[in-house]
Amino acid sequence: MTVGYYRFRGKYFEMDGESPRAEIVCGRCGFRYNVGQLMEQYDYQGSSQLQGTNIFVCTRCYDEPQPQTSPYVLRPDPDPAYNARPEPYVVDETNWLTTEGGDIIDTQEDEHIISSPPESEE
């Protein structure tokens, strides 16, 4: 006498004797499903495109990818200014007189010629 063996498949797996289908287990909840019922979980993994995580989950366990985890795409730098001139910091940041070449104008006694601030009219 042969004793039949029945394995419990769970409430989401449908057994069809005429067209049998493979079963697959959800990667999160562990319930058994038919092959076509699970979908792959996607997530941002270092790129701006969604990447497959190779985890197959049911519709109850599927998580929508969070936009906060996607990388921030920076704009390209603006075009540089054509024929730009450097700021004359030596002239602007000192109170002694300099030439256009940046040389300090000295007296005969090797002292810097200090420019005086304009006098205010009151």
| Domain presence at residue 109 | yes
Cβ proximity of 51 and 45 under 8 Å = yes
Residue bearing the bigger pLDDT, 74 or 9: 74
As a whole-number percent, the residues of the chain with pLDDT over 90 amount to 11
| Domain presence at residue 120 | no
Does residue 30 share a domain with residue 58?
yes
89: left (phi over 0), alpha (psi -120 to 50) or beta: alpha
Q: What pLDDT does 102 receive?
A: 72
Q: Tell me, what DSSP letter sits at residue 67?
A: G
pTM, two decimals, is 0.49
Q: What pLDDT does 57 receive?
A: 93
Count of domains observed in the chain: 2
Is 87's pLDDT higher than 70? yes
Does residue 31 share a domain with residue 58?
yes
97: exposed, middle or buried (C-beta count within 10 Å: 0-12, 13-18, 19+)? Answer: middle
Q: Which domain holds residue 109?
A: 85-115
Rounded Cα distance between 120 and 109, Å, is: 30
User: Across residues 4-14, what is the average pLDDT?
Assistant: 64
DSSP, collapsed to helix, strand or coil, labels residue 16 as coil
Residue bearing the bigger pLDDT, 18 or 41: 41
How many secondary structure helices (H) and strands (E) does the chain include?
1, 4
Residue type, 28: R
Does residue 62 share a domain with residue 27?
yes
